[in-house]
Amino acid sequence: MSGGDNLDFEIRPNPAPVSDADRQAALASPGFGRIFTDHMVTVRYADGKGWYEPRVEARAPIPMDPASAVLHYAQEIFEGLKAYTLPDGGVAMFRPDANAARFNQSAQRMAMPALPVETFLRSLHEIISIDRKWIPEDPEGSLYLRPFAYASEVFLGVRPANEYLYLVIASPVGPYFSGGVKPVSIWVTPDFTRAAPGGTGAAKCGGNYAAGLSAQAEASEHGCDQVVYLDAVERKYIDELGGMNVFLVLDDGNLITPPLTGTILPGITRDSVIKLAERAGRRVEERPISLEEWREGAASGRVREAFACGTAAVITPIGVIKSEDGDFTVADGGPGEVTMGLRKELVDIQRGRAEDPFGWVHRVL
C-alpha cells in the first residue's frame, strides 16, 4: 500500500528469533542500548509516491549504497521513548504523540518529509506487540524504542533527497542508575557550543550529538559525568547538557529553566516536569540563566537544587559544577527533595503506579 496516513503493515515474523533461554539470559542484565529485539519496522518514501511498503520484519543489517545521501549530507533524524509494563501486566508508552510531533518538527528543519502521526504511532504499536517478550521483568526495566529516518537516495549533490527510509528498532534496558540515583558532576565547556541561533539545536538529528562528542570527552578529562554548554552568542547563558535539559530549584520551591529559543531541544521530559511542577503549585519561569547567576545562587542558598532531565535517565540531580573559573556545588552535592519528588511522581505516572492527570500514558497491550 502506498501513500496516505493509514498504512497497513505487512508482518513478516523473524524465522529465527532468539531462543527463550538466550533472551532471558540477555534480559538478566541488559544495560542500555547493548542488545536488541528480534524485529524492526521499515517504511519507505519516494517523492510523488509518499510513504509505502510498511513492514515489520526480522532485524537485520540495512543494505546501503556508498553514495547514499545520508552518508554525505547527513539528512537524518531520530526519536527515543520507552514502553513500560503496567501493574496489571499490560504495556504502555509515555506521550508517544509528543514524540511524533517532535519527529516531524525535526523533519521540517532537516528538509525531510513528514511522517503521518498515525503511521508513527502504529509503527511503535507493531514492534511492541511482536516483541513484547523482550520487555524486562525488572520493575525498573523497559523497552527503549528508537524511531529514525534517513535520506536513502543514491546521489551526490547538495539538495534534499527524493527517497527516505524510516525504521524502528527496540532495545530492552535496565534501570539507568543500577546503584540508585546519584548526583552527576558537570563540566562547563569553555571552547565548544552545542548550537547557534538559526541552527539545528531544536532538531533531534544525529549531527547535534556527533558535534558534542569532543565536549563530552573534555568533560571526562576533567572527571565529570556530563558537559553543559553556554550560549553561542555571549558565552554567558546556560543552554543544556550534552543530551538533557536543565532546571534550577530556588529557595522558594519554584523552578527556572532556559527558554526554548531554537538552540535547545524541546524535551518531552522537560515539558512534563513543567506541567507537574505547575500542577503542584510551583511557578516555573523559562528565562535565560547565566552561569554566574547559578554560581552566586548556589553560594547564597538562593539556588537550592539543580537537575537535568531526559528520556533515558528521567530526572538526574546535579551535584558538582566544574569550570575553568572554579568549582561549586548545589544542595551540598546531594539529591534535593524537590528534584527527587518530581522524579518519583513522573516515574510512577509513566509506569501506571500513580494518577495520570494529563492523559500521558498510551496503553498498547
**Cα–Cα distance measured from residue 187 to residue 226, given in angstroms and rounded to the nearest whole number:** 6
What would the pLDDT profile of 133-158 be if each residue is shown by its tens digit?
A: 999 988 889 999 999 999 999 999 99
> 24-28, long-range: CB within 8 Å, 24+ apart, which pairs?
26/172, 27/134, 27/136, 27/137, 27/141, 27/172
Extract the C-alpha cell encoding 180. 540508585
**Cα–Cα distance measured from residue 252 to residue 104, given in angstroms and rounded to the nearest whole number:** 38
CA dihedral 253, 254, 256, 259 (to 10 degrees): 150
Residue 43, amino acid: V
Q: How far is CA 195 from CA 105, 116, 286, in A?
A: 17, 28, 18
Report yes or no: 41 and 168 within 8 Å, Cβ to Cβ. Answer: yes
Report yes or no: 353 and 81 within 8 Å, Cβ to Cβ. Answer: no
pLDDT of the residue at 5: 64
What SS3 class is residue 187?
A: strand
Examine the pLDDT at 347 and tell me if it is beyond 90.
Answer: yes
Task: Give the pLDDT mean for 328-341.
Answer: 91
pLDDT of the residue at 2: 44
Report yes or no: 126 and 11 within 8 Å, Cβ to Cβ. Answer: yes
Examine the pLDDT at 89 and tell me if it is beyond 90.
Answer: yes
Residue 111, amino acid: A
**Cα–Cα distance measured from residue 238 to residue 166, given in angstroms and rounded to the nearest whole number:** 34
Examine the pLDDT at 6 and tell me if it is beyond 80.
Answer: no
Q: How far is CA 173 from CA 47, 63, 263, 296, in A?
A: 37, 27, 29, 38
What does the DSSP assignment read for 185-238?
EEEE-SS--S--TTSSTTS--HHHHHTTHHHHHHHHHTT-SEEEEEPTTTS-BE
pLDDT of the residue at 1: 39
Task: Give the pLDDT mean for 240-268.
Answer: 96
Residue 243 confidence class, pLDDT cut points 50, 70, 90: confident
Q: Given the DSSP bridges, would you call strands 10-11 and 50-58 parallel, antiparallel or unpaired?
A: parallel
Examine the pLDDT at 348 and tell me if it is beyond 70.
Answer: yes
Element of type H or E holding 228: strand 226-230
Bigger pLDDT: 176 vs 127: 127
Task: Give the pLDDT mean for 37-48.
Answer: 98
Task: Give the pLDDT mean for 64-71.
Answer: 98
**Cα–Cα distance measured from residue 252 to residue 28, given in angstroms and rounded to the nearest whole number:** 43
Task: Give the pLDDT mean for 123-136.
Answer: 98
**Cα–Cα distance measured from residue 27 to residue 132, given in angstroms and rounded to the nearest whole number:** 13
Examine the pLDDT at 178 and tell me if it is beyond 70.
Answer: no
State the average pLDDT for the chain: 95
What SS3 class is residue 283?
A: coil
pLDDT of the residue at 332: 81
Residue 332 CB neighbour total at 10 angstroms: 9
Extract the C-alpha cell encoding 184. 552527576
Extract the C-alpha cell encoding 157. 549533490
pTM score of the predicted model: 0.96
Q: Given the DSSP bridges, would you call strands 142-151 and 76-78 parallel, antiparallel or unpaired?
A: antiparallel
pLDDT of the residue at 175: 84
- Unique residue bearing C-alpha cell 558538582: 320
Q: Which residues neighbour 281 within 8 Å (Cβ) at sequence distance 6 or greater?
A: none
